[in-house]
Each structure stands twice: as C-alpha cells, then as structure tokens.
Amino acid sequence: MEKDIYILAIESSCDETAAAVVKNGREVLSNVIYSQIALHTEYGGVVPEIASRKHIEKINQVIGQALADAGRELSQMNAVAVTYGPGLVGALLVGVSAAKAISFASGIPLVGVHHIEGHISANYIENKELKPPFICLVVSGGHSHLVVVKDYGEYEIIGRTRDDAAGEAFDKVARAIGLGYPGGPKIDKVSKEGNPEAICFPRAKVGNAEYDFSFSGLKSAVLNYLNSCQMKGEEINVADVAASFQKAVIDVLVEHSMEAVRKYGYKKFAIAGGVASNSGLRKAFEEACQKGGITFYHPSPVYCTDNAAMIGTAAYYEFQKGIRHGFDLNAVPNLKLGERV
C-alpha cells in the first residue's frame, strides 16, 4: 500500500492569509482563511502595503490553526507548500518566508506552487474522478486565461485577456455604480434583481486571436452609459446595469470557452478563480456544457476564491513528480503558468 502524503499549504498572494492541510492531494483536512476584505473595503481595493503587514500579523496563527483543525503535528507533514507567484510581491514574500522558515527548522521539504495552478487544481478537490486532459477557464481578480490542462503541471495557455481581468472589470464596474469593493459578489447579488437584456453592452472580439478576451471596452461602455444617463437627468437602474454588464461578460466567456472545447475536442471543461463563483456564470456554463454533451466541473465557491487547500492539491502533483525547492526560493510577482523557477 502506498504511503499517505500530508501537505501543509500556505497562500498569501493577495488579500487572504490562508493555510490548509491536504492528504493525498484531494482530501482537505483543514482550510483556514483569514480574509482581509473588510480592511481594504474603505480604500475601494487592495492596498499592497496593508496586505503585507496583515499577512505578517496573521500567518503564524493561521498555520497553527490549520494544523490544529486537521488534528496533525507539523512533524507528520511530508511537505510544506507555498504560493510563490504571481501576486503582490510583499504579500507573497510573507508566505514564502514562513514556508522557508518551517522547512529549514523542521527539515520538511519545500514545494513552491504557481497561484493559477492552484486555482485550476481546486477542481480536483471535490471532483475525485477529474483527471487531465481538459480545458479550464481561469477567471480571477488578476487573470483571465483559457488553459489546456494537458497533464498535472502541464499547461498551454490558448487565450488571455488583452487588458483587464474579468474580476477587475467586475470590481471597477461595481465601484462606478456605487456597490463598492469587492465588486464581484455584489454585482452577482444585485444582478438577480435586474434585467440582463435591459442595456446592450458590447461583446468584444480580439481580431487575430479567437480565444483572447478584452474587458476594458465593456468597462468604458458602462461608464459612458452612466455618464450619458447623468447628463440627460435619467435615473440609473443599478440592478439592470449590473445584470446587463454581467451578461456581457458571461456571454464572451462562454462563447470563447465552448469554441475552444469544440476545436480541441475535449469532453471535459472546468472553471476556476474568484469569478468562477459567480452564480450567473455557473448557470450559463451548466447549460452550454449540457447542450454540447460536455462534463462541466467547478469548485465550490470557497475553493474558487483564494485559499490554501488548492495550493496543497497542486503541490501534491508537483511533489509526486519530485519537485522540491531550496531556501533560495523567492517571490516571483509575474511568474508564468507552467514555468518553474
């Protein structure tokens, strides 16, 4: 019988201080998330310096809690995994330093993980049967990627955003219509009260790259619409604007993704990242996949937004491949998917 592998995983790339214990890659024994959202709300977005300072304050407590919740000792861990990029450099450094210190003091091997690889791997946690190859749409606050997951740890990016990430567009539009930060969940909620056909916002195509996205034109269209209403003295229906904007984003994401799934001939499709918790998006993909005879995978909302369980899952497959990092592991804010440092 194969030996069980326990991984202590740490995530601090943006505004969540998180730690988890994952057994054999897919069994989450604990998943502790300290969200800094409330702290950044008054500034309308993440303030990097505040995020780093809060990570320092919270990280040891969160790691201790993850081990306690899992009912395990540090000495029982086979690896300590940490997100080392992409993300905010000061925020990443806190997790990387903590993981290196634990590894140095305990002798437990260190495994650095790519944040987006973590998001994609979140799909393995609750879908025990899911194995590569498949296509995954990663939509978060910093990234919008259409990815062919060829194998564990092997990726080909076939589409990306040319400007704003999908989550960034949600956050900016939410601010413009007065919903505040973080915009995604707020637009999701208020959209349920609105008419998605009320306003026809543009669905951008990127000329020579059929799977690429562009959301900055859509954001400008929403701002122009708001300005013109104001100038004409017309009342703005926030729910209709939110629902129409959300529908424009979803339409583009679904169309590009389904086109890629058809072209590449895969029968499995997954979504990942914070925006993947959007209820309208999930429903639209459920319908599109059902129509196309494709099996649709998505993590529960808690595994869509930033968490350390997904890092532990990604780390398991890296660990099994023999990947280990030295104490020279550094934060790499612009780390490319599939690139190993």
Stretch that binds ligand KG4, among 72-80, 177-185, 201-209, 218-226 (CB under 6 A): 177-185
Q: List the x/- string, 120-139, binding to ligand KG4 by CB under 6 A.
A: --------------------
Q: Is 275 in the site for ligand KG4 (CB under 6 A)?
A: yes
Q: Which is nearer to ligand KG4, 83 or 97 (CB)?
A: 83
Q: Is 140 in the site for ligand KG4 (CB under 6 A)?
A: yes
Q: Are 33 and 18 in contact (CB under 8 A)?
A: yes
Site of tokens 């989450």: 28
Residue 40 CB, nearest approach to ligand KG4 (Å): 11
Q: Is 171 in the site for Zn ion (CB under 5 A)?
A: no
Applying CB under 5 A, which of residues 12, 30, 140, 191 lies at the interface with Zn ion?
140
Size of the site for ligand KG4 (CB under 6 A): 19
Q: Is 118 in the site for ligand KG4 (CB under 6 A)?
A: no
How many Å separate Cα 84 from the centre of its chain? 15
Q: Are 94 and 48 in contact (CB under 8 A)?
A: no
Q: Is 196 in the site for ligand KG4 (CB under 6 A)?
A: no
Site for ligand KG4 in 305-334 (CB under 6 A): 305-306
Q: Is 273 in the site for ligand KG4 (CB under 6 A)?
A: yes
Q: Which is nearer to Zn ion, 252 or 304 (CB)?
A: 304
Cβ-based neighbour number of residue 9 at 10 Å: 35
* Distance separating alpha carbons of residues 340 and 147, to the nearest angstrom: 17
Instruction: State both tokens at 275.
Output: 């925006």
* Distance separating alpha carbons of residues 33 and 139, to the nearest angstrom: 20
What is residue 45's DSSP assignment? S
* Distance separating alpha carbons of residues 44 and 186, to the nearest angstrom: 13
**Residues pairing with 34 in the sheet:** 17
Which does residue 240 touch among Zn ion, ligand KG4, none (CB within 5 to 8 A, set by kind)? none
* Distance separating alpha carbons of residues 209 and 249, to the nearest angstrom: 18
Stretch that binds ligand KG4, among 68-76, 180-188, 231-239, 283-291 (CB under 6 A): 180-188
How many Å separate Cα 328 from the centre of its chain? 26
* Distance separating alpha carbons of residues 8 and 81, to the nearest angstrom: 6
Applying CB under 5 A, which of residues 33, 306, 307, 318 lies at the interface with Zn ion?
306
What does the binding site for Zn ion look like in residue numbers (CB under 5 A)?
A: 140, 306
What does the binding site for ligand KG4 look like in residue numbers (CB under 6 A)?
A: 14, 140-142, 167, 170-171, 182-185, 188, 273-275, 277-278, 305-306
